[in-house]
Structures are given as C-alpha cells and as structure tokens.
Structure 1
C-alpha cells in the first residue's frame, strides 16, 4: 500500500470517527449535560495521550511554561468551548445539521485571516463565502426563509455555528504553535488545561442540572467521544497530514456530512430533508470554492485569483 493511499485511508477513518461525534451529541444529549460530556471526553483523551507525552515532557515543560498564555487560550477555544457548543447543539438540532454547519469554519478562518494577518480576500474566496452563507441560511431556516424575518432559528443551529467559530479561531492560531513543543506535549498540555478550564462550569452544571443518567448508551458515547473522536482520530489525522498534506486531507474531510447522514439514519432514525441537501451542497461547494486551489485541474498556466 503506497503512502498516498495510506494517508487517504487515515483521513477517511478520522472523518468517519468525527462524524460519529455528532451522532453521540444528539443521541445522549438528554442523558448527560453538555459540559460534563465534554469534560469526560477530554479526560479520557488526556489519559490516552499522557503515555505518549510523558517521555518528551522533560524537554517540553520549560517551553510550555514560557507559552502558557497561548496554550491556555488554545485550550479554551479548542477543548473547553468547541465541543461544549456541539454537545449543547445536540439538545435541539439534528446531528446532520451540526455536521453541515461546523465544517463552515474555513469561512471563519478566511475572515479572521484578513483581520489578523492582513491576508487578501480574493474574488473567488468572496464568492465562496457568500455561497456558504446561503447554505447556512438554508439550513437554519429549514428551507423556509420566512423564519429569517421572524428570527425563528433553532437554538441548536446557533450553538453549532458558535462551534464553527471556535474551530475557525483554533485552526487560525494553531499555526502559532511553538515548534519547540512536541505534538504530543502540545496536545497533552491543551487537554490538561482544557480540563482545568472546564471544571468551574462542570461544578455549576452539577449544582443546577439533573445528574447524568449513566446508562450503557451514555458510557459507550463517552468512551467513543474520548477514545475515538479525540485520541484515535487525532493520531489518524496527524498521519494523514504527514502523508498527503492538508489540502487533500481537507477534501476528504468534506465528506463529513455524508458519513454523519448515514450514521444518523442508521442509529437515530433521522430523516434527510431537501433543506439538508440544498444547504449542505451549498456549504460544501462554497468551502471548496473559497479554500481549495483548483488550478491544477487546468493544463494552461494560471495567474493569481
């Protein structure tokens, strides 16, 4: 098996695991509060990655201490806030809607890159952003655009969009990761700091919300989210990026809604509506238009966008 094929299969496996996260968010949303679900997910992921990070901790620790502010901010956005929004969304919206809305994060990256780094927004990117926004509106309005005028959006859709913003911010600033910190040490530090940041919110949930129902579905859901979505998918995605690069891996990632739709249909019995097809198609097309360099499809020399 050649390197590209292995990398593509790794990206596909990671995407399939992440698709299941939205099914978990929807399937056990009413059995365990969202922040507690997020906390136990990352606690498991931290326990899994710790053996890989410990051998490198002696070298990483001084650098981690110097960059603790950056690591804390990344832990808040990428660990504490992102999946808490996704799990909160699962209480009031379909898993497919979440899977279609959260990958719109590349649009957030384009906008923030312009603000933070001064990167230009080319006409092609601008059109792509507009198409994605049309798809988002189609989804949150459920195909009835009169909902927009009356602001009758599903709360879960707005939480999913908040998750997309968190993922966009995280992806934007991940390029600032100190090179002196190993990947294992970086993620272990983020997971650990994220758990510390989640702890006050967990205590508030425990005080005011009903206790989790620790049935077999919840236990399996937490195990899947922690070991599958956080630990295993991370390792697979890292392998994919190293083998085929971020662009090709990103193309595979756009199949996320497809796998979520299949898993939601089989496990939750959710229906796929026309608004899902139209909105999802617009979002995927817009993201690809805005973020991918498609000039390799032409044999003629191409200029800049």
Structure 2
C-alpha cells in the first residue's frame, strides 16, 4: 500500500519519529546507569510493555493459540537475540562507553547483517557489499580507537564499545532469522509473544543479581523505555515500511548516530570528536555502497 503523493511528505515523518525515539532511548540508557542496574531496567522495560499490551492481546492470543504453538520455538529464539542479548548488552555497555559511541556502533547493524546472512543463509555478498563492509568496519575500529589505531592495543579501555559491538552482532542474527523463517504471524502478536519470552529469560538473572526498585530517579527512564522504544517506535516503523517501502525506510536508520550525538550533546554534555565524524561517514558510506546492486 502506498500513500497518495500529497501525503508522502507526512509519511516521511514516520521513520524520522521512530529513529528519534530509538536514538533518545540510547541516551536514556546512558543517563540512567547511575540509578538502576542493566538487568533491572531491561526487565522493567519489557514488563511495562507486556502490562500495556496484555488487555488488548489476551483475546487474540487465545484465538491464535494454534498459530503461536506452531511458531513458539522461533519466537523464543527471536526474543533471545533481539530483546535479551541485544538490549541486555546495550544496557550493560552504557556503563562503560558514551551514548555517542553507542549510536554510531548501532549504525553498523546492516553491515553485520550482511555477514550473518552469509553465515546462515549462504547469501554471497556482492563486490559492493564486501567493499562497503570493509569501509564500515574500518570506520567502526576508528571510532573504538578514538582516532588512533594504536589505542586498540589497550583493550581494557574499550569494554563498553566491545559489548555494544556484540549487541549489534546479535541483533543482526535477529534480522536474519526473521528473513529466514518468514513467520506467517501478525506483527503485534509476534511482538507480544517475544516480550513474554523475554520476561522468562530475565528471571534467572533477577534471582541471581537481584532487582532494583523503581524510584523517582529511574521511573521516567523505565517507563519511557517500556512505552516509546518498545511499543510506539516499532509500530510507527512498521507503518513507515507499509507506506514508504522497506528499502526507502531503512535509509533513515543512518540518522541514528546523528540524532543520538545531538541528544547526548545537549542532555549529557558529550562531545562530538573528529573521529566520530570520520567513523560515521565511513559507516553510512559503507552501508549505502553495500546496498548497491551489481548490474548484470
């Protein structure tokens, strides 16, 4: 379904809104590190989303129980990669790196997806994809090394960036599994069941590490994470894909580092350094190059 031309300019706002919400959440993740543990906010995020969705989804879950039974194993795997490993590592990484770095590393999801697609689906990347991946990965190392590749030898100082790289790598698996399985299940139902599994996965960590209480300092961040990036942004993004198409919509993800850096600059006082500029340009340039098709 495509929107009428006169509405196109308004449809373009949809992916912008979604990317802004996700970018703000990266900054929120960094901000709240002093007030709540990673496992606590990760659990509360999905718990809030689950509580909000439940009144609207219980009837659908019962009606679609056979469909859920058919796909529950795949949904459990998707939840593990997309909601627990990716988000959990992201919340932990925020304790050791900046929101700006997290936003830039997040922009490498398309590049990691190419690598994982080759591993799992045997999708042979085009020459453009290989060159684009090389450019993007060099840019990633440049950001982690803070503009001096010799700094990479001091691995202890890059713990947060390394965690975020693994988080992005796991999220690439999430996207590839979605492509591989092509689950014939309504998107909102899929999201709800994945959130349910995410809550189950958190239980052993909560029993071992404990859970922080929600208080006046962390409550706004918890409820923001549970509502906006968990529910509103995905729905807005899906609507954008429906109206603009997947390829046109995906381009807007390249704005994540820019939005995150601007928010972190004004809110957290983080500085945008020259290596951030170079790394971002290389990341975006590499992704655009990787998406080019070979003329045949």
TM-score band, normalised by shorter chain:
over 0.9
Give the 3 Å change call, closer, same or farther, for CA 52–241 of structure 1 in structure 2.
Answer: farther
1:236 matched residue in structure 2: 236
User: C-alpha distance in 2, partners of 1:32/1:248?
Assistant: 37
User: C-alpha distance in 1, partners of 2:193/2:183?
Assistant: 12
1:222 matched residue in structure 2: 222
1:66 has 2:58 as partner: no
Q: Is 2:128–2:292's contact at 8 Å kept on the other side of the alignment?
A: no
Give the 3 Å change call, closer, same or farther, for CA 77–52 of structure 1 in structure 2.
Answer: same
In the TM superposition, residue 15 of structure 1 has moved relative to its aligned partner by 0.3
Map residues 185-200 of structure 1 onto 2, 5 A cutoff: 185-200=189-204
Map residues 113-262 of structure 1 onto 2, 5 A cutoff: 113-175=117-179, 176-179=181-184, 181-206=185-210, 212=212, 214-262=214-262
User: C-alpha distance in 2, partners of 1:42/1:213?
Assistant: 15
> Residues 265-302 of structure 1, C-alpha deviation per residue, up to 9 Å, x if partnerless?
11111111111111111111111211355xxxxxxxx8
Structure 2 unaligned segments of length 5 or more: list them. none
Deviates more, 1:270-279 or 1:55-64: 55-64
User: C-alpha distance in 1, partners of 2:54/2:12?
Assistant: 27
In the TM superposition, residue 41 of structure 1 has moved relative to its aligned partner by 0.5
Q: Is 1:8–1:252's contact at 8 Å kept on the other side of the alignment?
A: no
1:13 has 2:5 as partner: no
Three-state SS of the structure 1 residue aligned to 2:270 is: coil
User: C-alpha distance in 2, partners of 1:39/1:213?
Assistant: 12
1:94 has 2:86 as partner: no
> Residues 233-252 of structure 1, C-alpha deviation per residue, up to 9 Å, x if partnerless?
01101110100011111111
Structure 1 unaligned segments of length 5 or more: list them. 294-301
1:111 has 2:150 as partner: no
Q: What is the aligned counterpart of 1:22 among 3, 26, 39?
A: 26
**Aligned pair count?**
291
In the TM superposition, residue 216 of structure 1 has moved relative to its aligned partner by 3.0
User: C-alpha distance in 1, partners of 2:52/2:9?
Assistant: 27
User: C-alpha distance in 2, partners of 1:213/1:272?
Assistant: 34
Off by >4 Å, runs of 4+ in structure 1 = none
Give the 3 Å change call, closer, same or farther, for CA 92–172 of structure 1 in structure 2.
Answer: same
Deviates more, 1:144-153 or 1:34-43: 144-153
Q: Is 1:127–1:290's contact at 8 Å kept on the other side of the alignment?
A: yes
Three-state SS of the structure 2 residue aligned to 1:255 is: helix
Q: Is 1:32–1:218's contact at 8 Å kept on the other side of the alignment?
A: yes
Map residues 254-273 of structure 1 onto 2, 5 A cutoff: 254-273=254-273
Give the 3 Å change call, closer, same or farther, for CA 213–93 of structure 1 in structure 2.
Answer: farther
Deviates more, 1:137-146 or 1:53-62: 53-62
Three-state SS of the structure 2 residue aligned to 1:276 is: helix
Three-state SS of the structure 2 residue aligned to 1:29 is: helix
The normalised TM-score by structure 2 is: 0.93
Q: Is 2:113–2:175's contact at 8 Å kept on the other side of the alignment?
A: yes
1:286 has 2:286 as partner: yes
Q: Is 2:129–2:292's contact at 8 Å kept on the other side of the alignment?
A: no
